């Protein structure tokens, strides 16, 4: 019986996110520190020009739903043999970047959000293929294209930041026993 490989899928999504130029620091789980300055250090990034900036992303599984597969499945992806379930994981990619009015940081952040979305439109990324073309998660059918649910300004710790929520759904096939 195959088991869900949600962890490998999440690791693959994080690896794709890290491949985006100047994306900042990427974390595969929600970070926590009781000390606010230590927490912000998890997201402190050295920009190419040498300045320090809050810029980073957290990848976390937000939800998962599962349905029975059948020989006549009408779900996206087509045919699912009997004895196989289709499980859809929703991964949240939460990004932040320090707001700097004088440098028009909103434009740079919106461009960064688009670069993240572009990465997840690539066929290799949609299948989460490794460097040698091997699947990072054997049970993964595909990723759905990204969905940007919000882009806003919010306080992140003590820092005013741009923040985005991008969601990627991973469709997995799991064999029932």
Question: Residue 34: which CATH number?
Answer: 3.30.2000.10
> Would residue 1 count as lying in a domain?
no
Lowest mean pLDDT among 27-41, 92-106, 122-136: 122-136
> Would residue 44 count as lying in a domain?
yes
Q: Does residue 147 surpass a pLDDT of 70?
A: yes
Q: Range of 168's domain?
A: 6-175
Q: Across residues 91-112, what is the average pLDDT?
A: 96
- For position 28, what pLDDT does the model report? 96
> Would residue 169 count as lying in a domain?
yes
Q: Residues 33-91: pLDDT tens digits? A: 999 999 999 999 998 889 999 999 999 999 999 988 754 445 555 555 667 888 999 99
Confidence of residue 125 (pLDDT cuts 50, 70, 90): confident
| Residue 123 host element (H or E) | helix 123-126
Question: Is-contact 107 69, C-beta < 8 A?
Answer: no
Q: Does residue 159 surpass a pLDDT of 90?
A: yes
Count of structural domains within the chain = 1
Q: Compare 127 and 111 and report the one with higher pLDDT.
A: 111
């Amino acid at each position: 019986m195959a088991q869900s490989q949600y962890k490998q899928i999440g690791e693959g999504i994080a690896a794709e996110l890290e491949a985006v130029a100047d994306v900042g620091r990427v974390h595969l789980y929600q970070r926590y520190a009781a000390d606010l300055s230590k927490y912000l250090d998890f997201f402190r990034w050295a920009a190419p020009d040498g300045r320090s900036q809050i810029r980073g992303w957290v990848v976390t599984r937000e939800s998962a739903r599962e349905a029975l597969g059948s020989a006549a499945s009408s779900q996206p992806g087509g045919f699912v043999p009997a004895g196989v379930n289709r499980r859809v994981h929703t991964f949240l990619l939460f990004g932040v970047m320090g707001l700097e009015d004088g440098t028009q940081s909103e434009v740079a952040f919106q461009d960064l959000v688009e670069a993240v979305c572009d990465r997840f439109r690539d066929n290799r990324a949609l299948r989460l293929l490794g460097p040698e073309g091997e699947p990072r998660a054997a049970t993964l059918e595909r990723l759905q294209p990204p969905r940007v649910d919000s882009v806003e300004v919010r306080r992140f710790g003590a820092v005013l930041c741009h923040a985005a929520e991008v969601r990627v759904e991973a469709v997995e096939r799991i064999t029932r026993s």
